[in-house]
Amino acid sequence: MMMDSNDANAITIIKDSTLPVSLPSSPSTIKITINKDERLEHLDIPKGLIELLQINGLTVEKILESRPSQIAKIIGTDDYVAKIIFSETIKNTSDIISNYNF
């Protein structure tokens, strides 16, 4: 289908010298702090997934308290990947506990 110039949406730019255009006097910086759960680094999953977990504020405890579907929704992945994350977290946690002599 060919578009005729009459069918196109036109954009009109209006220059108005009365509108104030200024930059802030001091540059604003946004600082984002990510509290990383270092224990996630020990999971046998790709580094990219570990970064997703950390960026979204997930910790070992939060993963274990959640269902895989909740994890999937938080990090924006499918349930299958979230089930792998959940299983690896359980496995890693039980490995840590079994290494302690009570």
The predicted model scores a pTM of 0.63
Show Cβ contacts of residue 72 under 8 Å, excluding neighbours closer than 6 positions.
78, 79, 81, 82
Domain range summary for the chain, segments of one domain joined by +: 38-98
Task: Quick: pLDDT tens for 14-68.
Answer: 666 666 666 556 566 665 666 789 999 999 999 999 999 999 999 999 999 999 9
Contact 63, 71 (CB under 8 A): yes
Task: Quick: pLDDT tens for 83-101.
Answer: 999 999 999 988 766 665 5
Query: Sign of torsion, CA 19 20 23 28?
Result: negative
